[in-house]
Amino acid sequence: MYQIKYSESFASSLSQTITYWQMDLGFSDDTIQNYIPLISKNIHLLSDFPFISQDVETVK
């Protein structure tokens, strides 16, 4: 199992995405709250299966 480290850029990007969902798409807080566990689940799956996704650490 690998340890997942959250970078500042990841946190910022996620925050910007959530703001986009709220402001531009008009998603309610309840709708967004439904997505948060799915995002978290997928991130934690990466610790068990790190080779199922692309390493985006250097992508800008």
Q: Is 5 domain-assigned?
A: no
Q: Is 53 domain-assigned?
A: no
> Is 28 in contact with 35 (CB distance < 8 Å)?
no
Q: Report, as ranges of residue numbers, the positions in the chain whose pLDDT lies below 70.
A: 1-2, 52-60
Q: Is 60 domain-assigned?
A: no
pLDDT of residue 34: 94
pLDDT of residue 7: 82
pLDDT of residue 23: 96
Provide the residue range defining the domain that includes 28: 12-48
> Is 32 in contact with 22 (CB distance < 8 Å)?
yes
pLDDT of residue 53: 63
Q: Is 44 domain-assigned?
A: yes
Q: Is 39 domain-assigned?
A: yes
Q: How many domains does the chain have?
A: 1
What is the dihedral sign for C-alpha 22, 26, 28, 31? negative
pLDDT of residue 11: 87
Residue matched to tokens 């992508």: 59
Q: Is 24 domain-assigned?
A: yes
Q: Is 21 domain-assigned?
A: yes
